[in-house]
């Protein structure tokens, strides 16, 4: 309920700024960098930015837990890890609003029910499409899976490049960041954790 309330509060805050006001803000930024927003190539840019930003940050209007509401029990007693690898992550750094591009790997150990595989990717996307830090993103995904699925264990790994580091600042083009978060059996039992790490390291 707290997550839903936070989403509603975020939506209300966003709704206080109209598309027209946001469009004018983009025009101001274009002028600030030294460009003419009225020249041929830039006339439609503020409107295009509105459309793009709605896509980049659509996670604020999504409840990640809702994607996990439908589960399946007819799985012949399956109780081992479910691992989904190489889920694309496309997010934005909350410090510079620069892109974060990478992949997420997920594992969970079901109690009795499993969830559709696409729903795991939906959870990643819902949290990714917000201003983020990679550390927070990793934890949000893991806790949501653990709590909503009542799983016996969860692991989330994200490996991503931050363009606030590759394109500006220290400009280390090949740098990537890896974050992990383990819960339940995947934190307590190293045999599970080691198996998970072997699974995600095999391409």
- pLDDT tops 70 at residue 174: yes
Asked if 90 is an active-site residue, the reply is no
Q: Which domains does the chain have, with CATH numbers?
A: 2-56 (1.10.286), 64-201 (3.30.1130.10)
- Confidence at 7, pLDDT banded by 50, 70, 90: low
- Kindly report the pTM of this predicted structure: 0.89
Q: Which of 140, 162, 181, 193 is catalytic?
A: 162
CA angle 60, 3, 106 (to 5 degrees): 80
- For 180-199, what is the mean pLDDT? 97
The answer to whether residue 163 is catalytic is: no
> What would the pLDDT profile of 85-113 be if each residue is shown by its tens digit?
999 999 999 999 999 999 999 999 999 88
Of 8, 24, 31, 95, which one is the catalytic site residue?
95
Q: Within a 10 A sphere around the Cβ of 18, how many other Cβ atoms?
A: 9
Q: Which helix (H) or strand (E) holds 179?
A: strand 177-184
Catalytic residue among 23, 84, 90, 96: 96
In the predicted model, is pLDDT for residue 127 greater than 60?
A: yes
Active site residue 164: yes
**Spatial separation of the C-alpha atoms in residues 38 and 105, rounded to whole Å:** 45
What confidence tens digit (pLDDT) does each residue in 37-94 have? Answer: 999 999 999 999 999 999 999 999 999 999 999 998 877 888 899 999 999 999 999 9
């Amino acid at each position: 309920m707290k997550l839903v309330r936070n989403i509603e509060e975020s939506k209300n805050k966003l709704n206080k700024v109209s598309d027209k006001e946001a469009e004018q803000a983009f025009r101001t930024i274009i002028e600030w960098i030294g460009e003419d927003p009225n020249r041929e190539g830039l006339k439609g840019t503020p409107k295009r930015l509105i459309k793009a930003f709605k896509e980049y940050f659509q996670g604020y209007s999504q409840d990640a837990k809702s994607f996990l509401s439908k589960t399946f029990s007819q799985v012949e007693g399956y109780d081992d890890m479910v691992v989904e690898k190489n889920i694309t992550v496309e997010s934005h750094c909350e410090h510079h609003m620069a892109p974060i591009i990478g992949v997420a790997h997920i594992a969970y150990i079901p109690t009795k029910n499993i969830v559709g595989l696409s729903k795991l990717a939906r959870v990643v996307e819902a949290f990714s499409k917000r201003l983020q830090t990679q550390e927070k993103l990793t934890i949000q995904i893991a806790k949501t899976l653990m709590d909503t699925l009542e799983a016996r264990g969860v692991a989330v790994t994200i490996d991503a490049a931050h363009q606030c580091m590759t394109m500006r600042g220290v400009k280390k083009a090949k740098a990537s960041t890896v974050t992990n978060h383990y819960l339940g059996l995947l934190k307590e039992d190293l045999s599970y954790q080691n198996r998970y790490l072997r699974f995600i390291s095999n391409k």
